[in-house]
Amino acid sequence: MKIADVQVGGLYIAKVSGVLTTVRVLAIREVPPAWHNPNSARWRTRIDVVNERTGRKTTFSSAAKLRRPAQAAAGKEH
């Protein structure tokens, strides 16, 4: 997926720890360049998500980690 397609609060299918699972997007934020690389002025995008099955929070560095929007009818996967 592309970052423009991702919505905060949306449910998506993503691979977390080798398993496809449903995640909810909590926030999309910009992170400043690392302090140890003064030549880079490029800010990086981070996507904060929570795993719906386990409740654990994690951060994706790319929208490519998200496979597709989760179906509303599928709801919770257990």
Quote the CA–CA distance of 57 and 69 in Å, as a whole number.
18
Say what the pTM is: 0.79
pLDDT digits (tens, 9 = 90+) for 7-31: 999 999 999 988 999 999 999 999 8
Q: What angle do CA 12, 18, 69 make, to 5 degrees?
A: 10
pLDDT, residue 27, reads 95
Return the domain boundaries, the chain: 3-69
DSSP E strands, 19-60: 19-31, 44-51, 57-60
Contact predicate 67/5, CB 8 Å:
no
Pick the CATH number of 3-69 from 2.60.40, 2.30.30, 3.10.50, 3.40.1350: 2.30.30
Instruction: Check pLDDT > 60 for residue 77.
Output: no
